[in-house]
Structure 1
């Protein structure tokens, strides 16, 4: 009889446990559905690359969800968006383009033909482009597209974003203007901080595999020495010339970005008794990434002077 009672109690306990677990699962499902519905109810703004996301968010606040066309880890020169990404972009109020990235050049007309009501905003309006010497930027209409890596030029892009939002959503125009003014103060303070960090560097050159940092270098009187030749890994003769230049300039750090193959950079680093360090021009936290870049450039100088 005791065995029967214990068996009955055990069954009731198991049933209560199953009931609790199922209730918990149901609550989690409801929460997930509510979250998904909440995000779906929020109108969206699209950008091309991750560094734009925080800039747009600081202007529009929580009024819009920010969609990013190119996900982390992909090369903008070769990226082809999946249909699902195109659909999300097409449902947005506007698409804020950098201006001359290869993916924009390839896909803008196609996207416009499918979503004719999508507002496509070129944030580079008013920017003075750099035309690189000796490097293949044919995929970007002959100019260097990396304008977001300059705080000075990001001010122009942010103002273009603000003006577009005031035009598209005039009801909240004053809010967007106020947010832009706050953002502009932050960008100017960032610019000064980076300038102070780099002003006293004894050497003004640094070595990179892909020429992403020309606008940053221009802002702070630096010069990037590029390993890549016309958009490709260098030929043996070019590699020898670069190694000789690095030795002559006392460069012992080769900066690479995670979206590119680093084999040639590692060869150079080995030959100059140096090291390979990542600088990611597509990092999401735009401001912190530029501060981190300045720190790495200072460290590279310290390494070369040892």
Structure 2
């Protein structure tokens, strides 16, 4: 894996001159780590910028490796909004010498309280701990400070649109407040309820609405036999009837586990680019499980 990674970035380095083609007439290119972040960029900047996600919607960001075909985008981008995925740090370090104008903004570090970053703990079948949860886009509590950080950087790269961005940001804040109220009403009777997922992406929402996320996987690693052996007791104790799976992970494996446990299978897409839609889908499916 390390050999592949270095080969990829060696190619990035070799293509460092590509960015010279970029025209001043082009819209600033904004890169985001995962698709849902594009929702925020568009909500604030509209069509005044071009936005692309580094990780495709059908791939797990925990195990993603940037492709050589993405080199041109990295050479031309003005800013890269990350969330603290493991691939971001190594990518940023190597890009520093190929596109010095590209600013990497780790939104996780911008919005999380470093002294309390483990507050959003998950319930895991595995006993290991999760030092950092990068799924900050699946948090309503963090949505406003994240949007504020993005707004500030977008204003810096496109200052002529500052007033327009400020109005859009205010509208986005109002939308976040509405979503918060709506989800609170939908999940009002669900406090204390546990839900079972393959991958631990919904821990922030679980904490914010008094739910308990039980995750089988951690950091993209395969589910351990020890964890599977403990599942029947947990499912019975928590009165779990549904296993939620994500499109980016092994569907056959998940369905096999669900069949063994007598559970229904439902899809929750944590990488849906329509952030608002994904939050409402989460709330309704948790209520109906």
* TM-score normalised by the chain length of structure 2: 0.82
The alpha carbon displacement at 1:256 in A equals 1.2
Segments of structure 2 that go 5 or more residues without pairing to the other structure are 1-22
Cα offsets for 1:64-102 (capped at 9, x unmatched): 11121111211112211222313213202211112x112
Q: Give the total of aligned pairs.
A: 258
Alignment of 1:219-234 (within 5 A): 219-228=208-217, 231-234=220-223
Contact 2:196 2:213 in 1 (8 A): yes
Contact 2:63 2:220 in 1 (8 A): no
1:269 aligns with 2:258: yes
Q: Distance in 2 between matches of 1:115 and 1:274?
A: 49
Q: Distance in 2 between matches of 1:230 and 1:292?
A: 23
Contact 1:257 1:281 in 2 (8 A): yes
Contact 1:211 1:228 in 2 (8 A): yes
Alignment of 1:95-174 (within 5 A): 95-98=80-83, 100-124=84-108, 125-128=110-113, 129-130=117-118, 132=121, 134-135=127-128, 137=130, 142-174=131-163
Q: Distance in 2 between matches of 1:231 and 1:153?
A: 23
- Which structure is larger by alpha-carbon Rg, 1 or 2? 1
Which of 235, 239, 249 is matched with 1:260 structurally?
Answer: 249
In structure 2, the partner of 1:72 is: 57
Alignment of 1:150-229 (within 5 A): 150-201=139-190, 204-228=193-217
Which one scores higher on RCO, CA 8 angstroms, separation ≥ 6? 2
The alpha carbon displacement at 1:148 in A equals 0.6
The alpha carbon displacement at 1:194 in A equals 0.7
Cα offsets for 1:189-209 (capped at 9, x unmatched): 111111110011265110111
Q: Distance in 1 between matches of 2:45 and 2:260?
A: 49
Across the aligned residues of Structure 1 and Structure 2, the Cα RMSD in angstroms comes to 2.2
Which of 30, 38, 51 is matched with 1:53 structurally?
Answer: 38
- Misfit runs of 4+, over 6 Å: none
* TM-score normalised by the chain length of structure 1: 0.78
